[in-house]
Structure 1
Amino acid sequence: MPTHPSHALPILFYQDVRNALTWLEETYGFNPIVVFEDDAGAIVHAEMMLGSAHIMLGPAGMVEWAVSPQKQHGWNTQQTYIYVDDVDAHHVGVEMMRGVTATVPEKQFYGDKTYRTTDIEGHRWIFAERIKTASKEEMAKATGLTVR
Structure 2
Amino acid sequence: MIHMEIPEHHKQAVVPHIMVESAAEAIEFYAEAFGAVELFRLEGDAGRIVHAEVGIHGSTLMLGDVDVPFSTPDRVGTSVALHVYVPDVDGLTTKAVTSGAELLTAPADMPYGARQSMLRDPFGHVWIFLTPIAAA
TM-score bin, normalised by smaller chain = 0.7 to 0.9
Amino acid at match of 1:70: D
Query: How does the TM-score come out when normalised to structure 1?
Result: 0.78
Moved over 2 A (4+): 2-6
Q: Which has the larger radius of gyration?
A: 1
For residues 39 and 59 of structure 1, do their structure 2 counterparts lie closer, same or farther at Cα, with a shift above 3 Å needed?
closer
Query: How does the TM-score come out when normalised to structure 2?
Result: 0.84
Residue 99 of structure 1 and its aligned partner are, at CA, apart by: 4.5
The answer to whether 1:5 aligns with 2:18 is: no
Aligned equivalent of 2:93: 91
Aligned equivalent of 1:67: 71
Moved more, 122-131 or 5-14: 5-14
The answer to whether 1:44 aligns with 2:55 is: no
The answer to whether 1:54 aligns with 2:54 is: no
Amino acid at match of 1:83: Y
Offset from partner CA, 1:75-114 (integer Å, 9 cap, x none): 1011000110111111222233x25331210111111110
Residue 39 of structure 1 and its aligned partner are, at CA, apart by: 4.3
Residue 126 of structure 1 and its aligned partner are, at CA, apart by: 0.5
The equivalent position to 2:21 in structure 1, one of 15, 20, 29, is 15
* Mapped partners of 1:87, 1:15: distance in 2: 27
Over aligned residue pairs, what C-alpha RMSD do you find?
1.8
Aligned equivalent of 1:100: 101
Offset from partner CA, 1:13-35 (integer Å, 9 cap, x none): 11111111111111222111111
Amino acid at match of 2:73: P
* Mapped partners of 1:99, 1:41: distance in 2: 24
Moved more, 117-126 or 17-26: 17-26
For residues 49 and 4 of structure 1, do their structure 2 counterparts lie closer, same or farther at Cα, with a shift above 3 Å needed?
closer
Percent of counterpart pairs with the same letter? 30
Q: Kindly tell me the number of residue pairs found equivalent between the two proteins.
A: 128
